[in-house]
Amino acid sequence: MGNISEIEKAERFFKIYETMYNDPVIKVSHLKRKLNLYYNSLINHLNEMYEKKMLIGPYLSVRAHSAHKEYAYFIWSKNPFKMCEDLAKDSRVLYVTRGCGDWNIVVVSIHSLDFSRWEGMYTIVHQGVRYGVYTSKVQNNSQKKSLKEICYTSNISIVPEKNERTHVPKPQWGVKEWTLYHAFRSNMRKKVHPILRKYGISYRVYKKWKETLTNYCTIHLEYYPGGFHTYLPVYWLLETDYEKSIKQLFSLFPTSTNYIEIGDRLLVLVALPNNAFEIVHSFFYKLKTEKIIKNLRSAVFY
């Protein structure tokens, strides 16, 4: 691979991410040619990026559609450990996790849930149907420059817009297509032919299925230059008439920002260095004071 400086290495890593973001299933041979790298160098870089969780994905998320609804609950519980343990056993629950802040449990389920057995032990901070899930494209900025652009000198105009909450048509997929979705959902870069052989699916079916993905799914590739575990994952739940502008602002970060539409609220997940939390938190409260956002809540998750 030869000796390269840390700055050069970081530039290579970002170019790998950027190219994969634009083409999540690009072949390594094509990626090598685009970036003008030796094969072994590229493989070593990719291995390091995945091992350190600098790259996460690409993975799939099904868009909300008429035949499939997911329900999200943000709960403050007096006993989050026990409540999480019980919820994890519920077959309707897709996801449950703990944290601390204005809520300490997030639950996502395929049916609405009844929490009456925990009466007096919890408060629902917010609940709603899960709509779109999006991941921003990372900018090649330093953390310091990003914070300055977002919090102090941002020239993005704040213009009210109507926040659309829509369902896409039900995916026209049969058993084979859904099998492919579940096989590639967590990692679209898995080797294709072993999976096709395992499930007895032809390449023609796979190719046709792949062409429909953007109609029914969002594709996510996350990038964290320092490795995900070196950052503090902070969730902000807010209501705003300026969702597009909020998304534009946080796309200036050098780490991926995730946005999830929950009912009439927007959930923003930002991975921050520990020393940036107070700055960004203050910025959110500035937006609240200016009435750009309202009903602001936040939590840090493990």
DSSP 167: -
Mean of pLDDT over the chain: 89
Q: What residues have CB less than 8 Å from 292, skipping those under 6 apart?
A: 158, 240, 242, 245, 246
- Residue 186's pLDDT is what? 95
Q: Is 71 a residue whose pLDDT tops 90?
A: yes
- Residue 2's pLDDT is what? 58
pLDDT 10s digits, 282-300? 888 888 888 888 889 999 9
pLDDT 10s digits, 156-215? 566 667 677 777 888 999 999 999 999 999 999 999 999 999 999 999 999 999 999 999
What is the C-alpha to C-alpha distance for residues 8 and 12, in angstroms, rounded to an integer?
6
Q: DSSP alpha helices (H): ranges in 36-116?
A: 39-51, 80-88
Please compute Rg for the chain using Cα positions.
21
What is the C-alpha to C-alpha distance for residues 277 and 8, in angstroms, rounded to an integer?
28
- Residue 66's pLDDT is what? 78
pLDDT bracket for residue 247 (50, 70, 90): confident
Q: SS3 for 117?
A: helix
What is the C-alpha to C-alpha distance for residues 180 and 236, in angstroms, rounded to an integer?
33
Token pair, residue 215, equals 């109609």
CA–CA distance from 222 to each of 20, 139, 256 (Å)?
Answer: 10, 12, 5
Phi and psi at 161, nearest 5°, equal -145, 160
What is the C-alpha to C-alpha distance for residues 14 and 20, in angstroms, rounded to an integer?
10
pLDDT 10s digits, 9-33? 999 999 999 999 999 999 999 999 9
pLDDT 10s digits, 248-280? 888 888 899 999 999 999 999 999 887 888 888
What is the C-alpha to C-alpha distance for residues 120 and 245, in angstroms, rounded to an integer?
39
Work out the average pLDDT over 117-127: 87
- Residue 107's pLDDT is what? 95
Do the strands 257-262 and 105-109 form a parallel or antiparallel pair, or are they unpaired? unpaired
pLDDT 10s digits, 33-63? 999 999 999 999 999 999 999 999 999 998 8
Under 8 Å between Cβ of 280 and 270: yes
pLDDT bracket for residue 245 (50, 70, 90): confident
Peptide bond into 254 cis (omega under 30): no
Residue ranges with strand state E in 110-180: 122-135
